[in-house]
Structure 1
């Protein structure tokens, strides 16, 4: 990497992660509940840290924090870089926090090396991204961009059963514009949104790559509880021709979906699919009984809306065909869908060039998990993301991002944002 003051920046990054971890320990990992006093305490620590390193700090209408170089405090518009500070219960320390730390390091690096940004840059430390607390995700960024649905404003907290609106009022946040679906920041002043995040899968680890540019955030459609309904029978007494076996019907469906998944990947299209819940009724199933029904979930994701539409039609057709041939019935229940969010092509190209400059190579991939960047993109703000290698997945105490890889990601962002010397 070129021009990276690693000896100075690595201890600062480590300090952020270590001291915030110490603020929010749980039985395992860390817990920083959305819109909680502990989340506020985390923001207070970040504010003191930023001011100690010469940065300007301000609070917005959602009680998020904004950091910038003092000379950019009065800018008319800016590039926004950051992420969220809350975590899932007993989660890892890097999911969300790494993106905030990256924005701070980018600002401190510019100040210490005497660099100027091509456009003013502000770092945001946001509240309330994780769905674990109120059952809905991206609450903070939805509030900022005027995309918070009424049912999410009234969603109740898993702990005290009070609505989100009450928790916001406790923080002094005006909920009237939220109820009217109005943005609580001036979106016209945000030229771009950038977010660094740990990768939540194994691709960078398996390919031995420290960081990547994100091409898009996969959308999805989900069925939480599909029932495949057959007919119970004795396992030894019912010949194959007379069986209505929901287990074999489910197995055939998954085999067909898996084959189509492989074909789509071979033709250069993006897809992942998962059935994370599968089971027969524990009260009635037995080793000698053909089950009468099987329940399973299905989560199909792609960053291509056309692929999602294709898979939705394909799923229905295959269920109908298998139902006829095996004498079963599929009841899919309600569908829950989220549209894909593509990152801005110009930003992707710029980050790829910055990664090439900073590291001598570049790599681009899709994001399987959702992020605040998707909300900003859906609000019409050009958005981009950088992933950093991380072992053991996310949302668990074993997240394992290395500071060296984190600094590669921040170097990509700095190279993209700073004026060419």
Structure 2
């Protein structure tokens, strides 16, 4: 830490942003209800409101505001050398259906508060400091990861603008973007707004999504990595619809084939856990076909989704091989056919050691307890890491997990996170 760094003044300036922080959260909660919780669909009314709220408040505070072709919002405190590599923070403003008010939004609110505090305590920083409010992070809606951050770098997957449909509307990503004024043609060309070479570092603040910090009794975590994943959002198992009295040897039961797959997947996970290899596997959808299922029918069609994640690229690749190798045996044993559907993936995002160390030093200097933490969830920070931008994450203690109406982050804990974030942005070389 720079010996001349105004730590005490910055701490007081961060504390003075408490009213700004509370006011933004209250407005977001009241304006984007989900009955219960909150709902801010990507490229929909709730997310758009949140972006307008951020932009309006930032302009009132005298900060620069811009948007890119995908309508990500950027709030900047200009630096003395505007050609220098910028330091960035931020997170997303969309939510899952009936989610909580803090997942994603906490990182954007924290970033805005950090800029206000830095301007008050430090004045003009050496380089630009930018908060990025990111679109469409929650992949549940379009079943594609990191839409906003990938758009900013011009690396959206081929064809996804037209192939990805929002689950509630059935309309394409391109249609939803265009409706709000996004430059879809620029996105089709792969035009980028962000240049990785122009970014000195990116730190994303986020609520924790497993109760690790709650269990440890500390307010903050400093990330070691964001997991990569592979996903098959629309797996279909086809068997043969039949009478409930059909003997087992004649059946082609798609539901039991799905159950075989699920239990075999769980055995793979248990084996990895027993060997100390961190991973997670989730079957989010798991059901018979409602159009034809019934109590007295053998299911001939079964639908499911798959998300598998790990912190090491080699582990992730080996996991996919093992998981896919389950399919032929189940097909043969049950007389069914698997159609895996489209595949999606995201790379592992390792946190930069220098940023981890700097965040830890600033937490220690402020007397804030913390621990190292691997993220259990995917985050836009991984997009930055994949493009070799130095990346870090700060996690804030949160009861009751996330992606539900009962997220219970304490704003006092968030203020500790803002203090560490602001110190990193103000003191980074």
Could you tell me the TM-score, scaled by structure 2's length? 0.80
CA contact (8 A) 1:270 1:307 kept: no
In the TM superposition, residue 342 of structure 1 has moved relative to its aligned partner by 1.7
CA separation of 1:171 and 1:261: change in aligned 2, threshold 3 A: closer
CA separation of 1:276 and 1:164: change in aligned 2, threshold 3 A: closer
Q: Structure 2: give runs of 5+ residues left out of the alignment.
A: 1-6
Q: Distance in 1 between matches of 2:269 and 2:408?
A: 30
Deviation larger for 183-192 or 4-13: 4-13
SS of the counterpart of 1:367?
A: coil
Q: Distance in 1 between matches of 2:22 and 2:134?
A: 20
Which residue is equivalent to 1:411?
Answer: 419
Q: Distance in 1 between matches of 2:35 and 2:157?
A: 33
CA contact (8 A) 1:178 1:184 kept: no
CA separation of 1:153 and 1:334: change in aligned 2, threshold 3 A: closer
Does 2:213 align with 1:204? yes
Does 2:122 align with 1:114? yes
Q: Distance in 1 between matches of 2:368 and 2:270?
A: 32
Which residue is equivalent to 2:26?
Answer: 18
Q: Distance in 2 between matches of 1:109 and 1:16?
A: 16
CA contact (8 A) 1:118 1:417 kept: no
Can you list the C-alpha shifts for 1:261-316, whole angstroms capped at 9, x where unaligned? 233224332211123333456756648x8767765443322122222222223234
Query: In the TM superposition, what are the counterparts of 1:81-92 in structure 2 within 5 Å?
Result: 81-92=89-100
Does 2:349 align with 1:342? yes
In the TM superposition, residue 338 of structure 1 has moved relative to its aligned partner by 0.8
Does 2:235 align with 1:225? yes
CA separation of 1:230 and 1:152: change in aligned 2, threshold 3 A: closer
Which residue is equivalent to 2:183?
Answer: 174
Q: Distance in 2 between matches of 1:397 and 1:227?
A: 33
In the TM superposition, residue 81 of structure 1 has moved relative to its aligned partner by 0.7
CA contact (8 A) 1:72 1:121 kept: no
In the TM superposition, residue 102 of structure 1 has moved relative to its aligned partner by 1.0
Q: Distance in 1 between matches of 2:144 and 2:180?
A: 19
Which residue is equivalent to 1:47?
Answer: 55
Q: Distance in 2 between matches of 1:43 and 1:242?
A: 57
Can you list the C-alpha shifts for 1:302-347, whole angstroms capped at 9, x where unaligned? 12222222222323444555666x5655625235231333233322
Can you list the C-alpha shifts for 1:336-388, whole angstroms capped at 9, x where unaligned? 23133323332233334434444454322333332221222233322222222
SS of the counterpart of 2:16?
A: helix
SS of the counterpart of 2:138?
A: coil
CA contact (8 A) 2:239 2:337 kept: yes
CA contact (8 A) 1:358 1:415 kept: no
Can you list the C-alpha shifts for 1:69-114, whole angstroms capped at 9, x where unaligned? 3545835321111122233444322122111111112122223333
CA contact (8 A) 1:305 1:339 kept: no
Which residue is equivalent to 2:393?
Answer: 385
Query: In the TM superposition, what are the counterparts of 1:302-313 in structure 2 within 5 Å?
Result: 302-313=310-321
Q: Distance in 2 between matches of 1:22 and 1:252?
A: 45
Q: Distance in 1 between matches of 2:36 and 2:58?
A: 28
Q: Structure 1: give runs of 5+ residues left out of the alignment.
A: none
Q: Distance in 1 between matches of 2:199 and 2:266?
A: 41
Q: Distance in 1 between matches of 2:166 and 2:282?
A: 28
CA separation of 1:174 and 1:242: change in aligned 2, threshold 3 A: closer
Q: Distance in 2 between matches of 1:251 and 1:24?
A: 38
Which residue is equivalent to 2:37?
Answer: 29
CA contact (8 A) 1:226 1:295 kept: yes
CA separation of 1:411 and 1:161: change in aligned 2, threshold 3 A: same
Over aligned residue pairs, what C-alpha RMSD do you find? 3.7
Q: Distance in 1 between matches of 2:329 and 2:416?
A: 50
CA contact (8 A) 2:79 2:129 kept: no
Which residue is equivalent to 1:216?
Answer: 225
SS of the counterpart of 1:125?
A: strand
Which residue is equivalent to 1:59?
Answer: 66
CA separation of 1:296 and 1:139: change in aligned 2, threshold 3 A: closer
SS of the counterpart of 2:17?
A: helix
In the TM superposition, residue 417 of structure 1 has moved relative to its aligned partner by 2.8
Does 2:87 align with 1:76? no
In the TM superposition, residue 146 of structure 1 has moved relative to its aligned partner by 0.2
Which residue is equivalent to 2:270?
Answer: 262
Q: Distance in 1 between matches of 2:176 and 2:334?
A: 51
Q: Distance in 2 between matches of 1:121 and 1:331?
A: 49
